[in-house]
A and B are shown apart, each in its own frame.
Chain A
Amino acid sequence: MAQTVIDTANHIAGYAAKAARVKVIAAYPITPQTTVVEKIAEFVESGEMEAEYIRVESEHSAMAACIGAAAAGVRAFTATSAHGLALMHEALHWASGARLPIVMAVVNRAMGAPWSIWPDFSDSLSQRDTGWIQFYCADNQEVFDTIIQAYRLCEDERVFLPAMVCLEGFLLSHTYMPVKIHDQDEIDAFLPPYKSGWTLDLNNPVSHANLVSPEWYMEFRYMIQEAMENAKRLVPEIDKEYGRRFGFQYGGLVDKYQCEDADLIICTMGTMGAEAKVAVDNLRKEGFKVGVARIRVYRPFPVEEIRKLAEQARMIATIDRHISFGMEGFLATEVKASLYHMGDKPLVAGFIAGLGGRDVTFKTIEGIAKKSLKWMERGRVEKETEWVDLRE
């Protein structure tokens, strides 16, 4: 039976791991992730979840243990934040290179120095090029649904890649919301038992991931790129099927709101996407034609959808909870790159906001929109990268 619980996104991620019938969990504490693995520990020790729970001694070992478990033929899960994710960096490459469909919750937190426990996307976006699919969630229900969807996607033979399901620390991780936990039989029907491209097998004694010469290495990399392209096609299909089965769907790669006739599209990720919808409602009341494109899947990047949105919009304002030092926010760069080959393209302005957990409310976003609309009317972006609410 489906049930509705009122709980934090971290606990909900635990419910999702249980519903996905994860068999090995590697757990290491870090704020604000910790309550994910605490919840799973309760499930495993109470017998509600039949799984092996490995209390590793570091995040690097957490990912190594997940790699071992997935290679030995079971569904693996872990969760981390910030410095934990950075410590895993090398193992992230190994997981995707080995084509193991591991799913990990990343509870986004800013990177030090100086220490911060509050959210921004600098942790997961720093892992952009590791070959992991990246989902970004806007509410607790989406966290649950995306973890289930992610396993289905990752274990598709056209993909066989790992995925991060990202949720912002505290804004979601420790915030209570009602969430529908779907019927287990229906989840089982949607998500079949674990499947991977290979397992360690006594009957097929292969050396996995051994030394590859320059004659072959590029082909392995090309196959990952192909898998990412396949994922781009499959995410909307899986999301649609999920919607039919469970009544929740999220627009596939991009959650679009009021974009059909919008002059200005606010392009952002995570909870800022949810907040932007409130801003759009208010701006529409004032007569401004504004929409939101919340990038739900950042890798693979939804280039084609961005282009489609750009066909009718006059301007795109990106809001990055992230900065690539010496350049701009990744979203700004990638939206602009997506548009490069279009003849008649909209203006793009990049806004850096909410670093280290600074609030980005609908009022902040209304301010960003109004500034963008002003530039749009003038036909010129006056500042390519604007830091929002920066102290003088």
Chain B
Amino acid sequence: MVTIKELPKEEYLLKGHAACAGCGPSIALRLLFKALGNKVFLVVPACCTTVIQGPYPFTSFAVPLQNMLFEATGATCSGIVAALKIRGLEDITVVGWAGDGGTVDIGIQALSGAAERETNFIYICYDNEAYGNTGLQRSGATPYGAWTTTTPTGKKERKKDMPLIMAAHRIPYVATACPSYPIDFVNKLRKAKETKGTKYIHVLAPCPTGWRYDASKTVEVGRLAVQTGMWALYEIENGKFRLNPPSDRLIDKSKRKPVKDYLSMQERFRHLTEADMERIQAWVDEDWEFYRKLTSL
């Protein structure tokens, strides 16, 4: 376990990257490199990071990066891992870094295939709950009620539970994270690096542009997502489910802030009625009942 003081000073996400002000995913990227170092091959499908890295002939990343087709991250990583095995370069960490659309929607097949093949790599979904790069359309990861450009009156369906779908692949390591909790994320990345097989980390990455809050509030929004229980920090290590701090203290409903605190901070939810908020609160409470059961397994 690292502490904030022990994080390496080196920066592999360089100055001049093209992320929006207050971009949650770019905080996660910076932490990714701090946790894994620069002995990393990164595969990036179409997503916000296509833009964040900067256009040809520049790059804002200090690691080799293969840009790839939207739906192909998992399979591309399988190919790279196979080649590195043949070349005896298995000490290089292969990382697939994809958005929520590229993971839970169009990329789910290639990811599922790579996981079932036990490809030795880390897959990170940075989830800003919409197709951000194309201008904020609804994805399978968009939560109920959220405004997007293709759900102008709010999404009518619930968010797809991708981490548990990945857990159903019986891979050795599944975790959730949020850049508002950097040490938790870094520790999970380090654990993933030391684990052989497919590792999946799902990062809730607040997006001021898409979620419609002030760009200075990204860390706060992420914290509220966790404190309200809208997002739980957990890991599933070899099938064993464990809530991580501070989520491990939130099983008791009285410890959780009301979801309204989180929802009302973001304009994407501003049209929600009291009844909508109650419905969301009830679903969150159900989720936590489920987590409680998982914890006792």
Interface size class on chain A is 35 or more
Contacts of B59 in A (CB 8 A): 205-207, 210
Q: Are A68 and B66 in contact (CB under 8 A)?
A: yes
Q: Are B86 and A57 in contact (CB under 8 A)?
A: no
Q: Smallest CB–CB gap between A120 and chain B, Å?
A: 28
A295 at interface, CB cutoff 8 A:
no
Contacts of A23 in B (CB 8 A): 83, 86
A224 at interface, CB cutoff 8 A:
no
Give the docked Cα–Cα distance between A51 and B113 (Å): 20
The majority secondary structure among interface residues of chain B is mixed
Are A65 and B76 CB-contacts (below 8 A) given A23-B83, A202-B38, A210-B59?
yes
The total of Cβ contacts below 8 Å across the A-B interface reads 158
Give the docked Cα–Cα distance between A212 and B50 (Å): 11
B175 at interface, CB cutoff 8 A:
no
Contacts of B55 in A (CB 8 A): 210-213
Give the docked Cα–Cα distance between A210 and B54 (Å): 8
Q: Are A68 and B43 in contact (CB under 8 A)?
A: yes
Which of A5-13, A72-80, A126-134 interfaces with chain B?
A: A72-80
Q: Are B79 and A68 in contact (CB under 8 A)?
A: yes
Q: Are A72 and B84 in contact (CB under 8 A)?
A: yes
B55 closest partner in A (C-beta): A211
Contacts of A66 in B (CB 8 A): 79
Contacts of A72 in B (CB 8 A): 41, 79-80, 83-84, 87
Q: Are B80 and A205 in contact (CB under 8 A)?
A: no
Q: Are A213 and B56 in contact (CB under 8 A)?
A: yes
Give the docked Cα–Cα distance between A66 and B87 (Å): 15
Q: Are B75 and A52 in contact (CB under 8 A)?
A: no
Q: Are A205 and B64 in contact (CB under 8 A)?
A: yes
Q: Are B82 and A69 in contact (CB under 8 A)?
A: yes
B198 at interface, CB cutoff 8 A:
no
Are A61 and B110 CB-contacts (below 8 A) given A68-B43, A72-B41, A72-B79?
yes
Contacts of B21 in A (CB 8 A): none
Interface size on B, residues (CB 8 A): 45
Contacts of B69 in A (CB 8 A): 60, 64, 90-91, 94
Are A211 and B56 CB-contacts (below 8 A) given A24-B86, A51-B86, A58-B113?
yes
B76 closest partner in A (C-beta): A68
A46 at interface, CB cutoff 8 A:
no
Give the docked Cα–Cα distance between A206 and B60 (Å): 10
Q: Are A209 and B39 in contact (CB under 8 A)?
A: no
Give the docked Cα–Cα distance between A65 and B39 (Å): 21
Q: Are A64 and B75 in contact (CB under 8 A)?
A: yes
Residue in B43, B57, B71 whose beta carbon sits within 8 Å of that of A60 in the complex: B71
Q: Are B56 and A216 in contact (CB under 8 A)?
A: yes
Q: Are B63 and A24 in contact (CB under 8 A)?
A: no
B262 at interface, CB cutoff 8 A:
no
5 examples of A-B residue contacts, CB within 8 angstroms: A24-B86, A57-B112, A58-B113, A60-B75, A202-B39
Residue ranges of B at the interface with A (Cβ–Cβ < 8 Å): 38-39, 41, 43, 50-51, 53-59, 61-69, 71-72, 74-87, 92, 109-110, 112-113, 116-117
14 other contacts beyond A72-B79, A74-B82, A210-B50, with CB at 8 A cut-off? A54-B78, A56-B113, A58-B109, A64-B75, A64-B79, A65-B79, A68-B76, A69-B83, A71-B79, A200-B80, A204-B64, A207-B67, A208-B65, A210-B67
